[in-house]
Chain A
Amino acid sequence: MIRAAVWPVALTLVPALVVACGGGDLGGEDGADTVLVLAAASLTDAFTDLAAAFESANDGVTVELAFGGSSTLAAQIVEGAPAAVFASASSAEMEQVVEAGLADDPSTFATNRLEIVTTPGRRVTVSGLGDFAREELLVGLCAEAVPCGALARRALDAAGVVPSIDTNEPDVRALLAKVAAGELDLGIVYHSDVVAAGDGVVGIEIPANHNVIATYPIVTLGAASDRVAARAFVDFVLSADGGEILQRHGFGAP
């Protein structure tokens, strides 16, 4: 009877052992030279370029990127995601991670200001935050839990506008996509997103007295299997070369 059980037990245990020995690193090369970076959705294009630049300057190191809403990423890190670096779109999410004891001493690497977006060729004319109260327009914001959403609401508040919201998108890129596709008339995203979208959207500046500046902190995480490579990447992001790449994508200096 024991003999008959050997095969199914072995078949089930082998993959389990492989996973365990691999240290959960099934995808890439050996763990030592891979840096997993979790970054806010608005950093998508900038960090793709930063990663490429870093990899070409540092042979043998691979940077893996995962983008999403900062709050989703923060939650994942708190639940144990094996990330090496976390770049958030606001300090609130960063504090969450720091309070959980998973990181310390984050540095601000960029700033971003908010900007209104609308679809090119729109029949109706929009000029500013006041248009967000118009019922007949399809208005989208980021969900309040996401930094972009929280900041957008602060800006609207500062302008004394009560928006007639039609949808709360889970992250800034989803919102941008819907505006670019013409499914939404108005949205509030970051200036860097407007730069990234190029001709796809029309950006309308928010006056400085209503606008809100987002600060982007970055930190290495305790779960990093290789702190050297992670630290090196963060340093690169904070360097002048890194800053140049960020500014090319519409981010402000820290």
Chain B
Amino acid sequence: MTARRVAPRRPPLPVLIPAAIGVALMTVPFVGLLSRTPWGELGSLLADPFVAAALRLSVVTSLAATAISLLIGVPMAWLLARARFRGRALLRGIILLPMVLPPVVGGAALLFALGRRGLVGQWLDRQLGILLPFSTWGVIVAATFIAVPFLVITVEAGLRSADLRFEEAAATLGASPLTVLRRVTLPMAWPSIAAGAVLAWARALGEFGATITFAGNLEGRTQTMPLAVFQALESDRDAAIAISLVMVAVSLAVLVALRDRWFRVG
């Protein structure tokens, strides 16, 4: 076959055509959304109490979920990256399960564990009077459950690729293992921790299945933006589009700001 030399800059056709179709598939839905947007009333729509309540709840719960994810996720990532113990692969699998399972399954599992008749939930209810389902804290728990694996996997990759010799250097200077962790390991892992937190936050913001199954759906208490969109799609189409637009804009901004840092880790 005669190979005709093309200018090296142009991507080869066998790559370009499927890629172009893929790009079309990925962008058309958003174009559809933009085409149905009632641009004129967008301002008043976003000011509507229904929309405002959902927005506020989403922001508060997603930030809380991110904070908790950091608190429990970084230690878990450290354990998976550094500690050596039997069953580590299994533990990693369990921790990362919510990333792979349908969120509704996650929500159902949470109900079986923390619901009023749940394994732990019934004890929480009877002894401490704490009821997580149908409460804002339930939303936070559901969002954390779904989002924490994203943080763990990012931070674990960052810790694994860290140069252990710096920790040795710190030890020779007199740093105890805890000091090494605090003043060398974690500061040096900061980029992956930040990336993991941002991803977890974005995931928590968009969580639907686990939230509606575990925490329920009530304006002002548990109705986050995704749930509000779902409800508004039937009754107030324009409000649904307005909220959807906000979510798309925020998520897009996050992904663009992260650039390729997500993919560079690990």
Contacts and interface: CB of A to CB of B under 8 A. Distances in A.
Contacts of B12: 4
Contacts of A170: 212, 217, 230-231
Given A12-B21, A183-B115, A167 B134 contact: yes
Interface residues of B, number: 28
Interface string B1-40: 0001010000011100110010000000000000000000
Contact of A75 (B111, B133, B234): B234
Nearest to B236: A145
Nearest to B131: A138
A145 B13 contact: no
Contacts of A42: none
A107 B67 CA distance: 55
Interface in A151-197: 165-170, 181-184
Given A1-B4, A183-B117, A144 B235 contact: yes
Contacts of B223: 168
Contacts of A1: 4, 6, 13
Interface in B163-215: 212
A138 B116 CA distance: 10
B72 interface: no
A184 B17 CA distance: 53
Given A72-B234, A182-B116, A183-B111, A167 B13 contact: no
A183 B230 contact: no
A168 B13 contact: no
A217 interface: no
Contact of A145 (B117, B219, B235): B235
Contacts, number: 73
Nearest to B221: A166
B134 A166 contact: yes
B230 A8 contact: no
Nearest to B12: A4
Contacts of A169: 216-217
Contacts of B18: 8, 11-12
B13 A166 contact: no
A11 B116 CA distance: 52
A69 interface: yes
Given A4-B14, A183-B111, A143 B218 contact: no
A4 B13 contact: yes
Given A12-B18, A167-B134, A75 B233 contact: yes
A17 interface: no
A8 B17 contact: yes
B4 A167 contact: no
A181 B230 contact: no
A150 to B, nearest CB: 10
A14 interface: no
B222 interface: yes
Given A182-B117, A184-B134, 16 more contacts: A1-B6, A4-B12, A4-B14, A5-B13, A8-B17, A8-B18, A72-B233, A138-B133, A143-B217, A145-B235, A166-B218, A168-B216, A168-B217, A168-B218, A168-B219, A170-B231
24 contacts: A4-B14, A5-B17, A8-B13, A8-B14, A9-B17, A12-B18, A12-B21, A71-B234, A71-B235, A74-B234, A138-B133, A166-B134, A166-B216, A166-B218, A167-B218, A168-B216, A168-B223, A170-B212, A170-B217, A170-B230, A170-B231, A183-B111, A183-B116, A183-B133
Interface of B: 4, 6, 12-14, 17-18, 21, 111, 115-117, 131, 133-134, 212, 216-219, 221-223, 230-231, 233-235
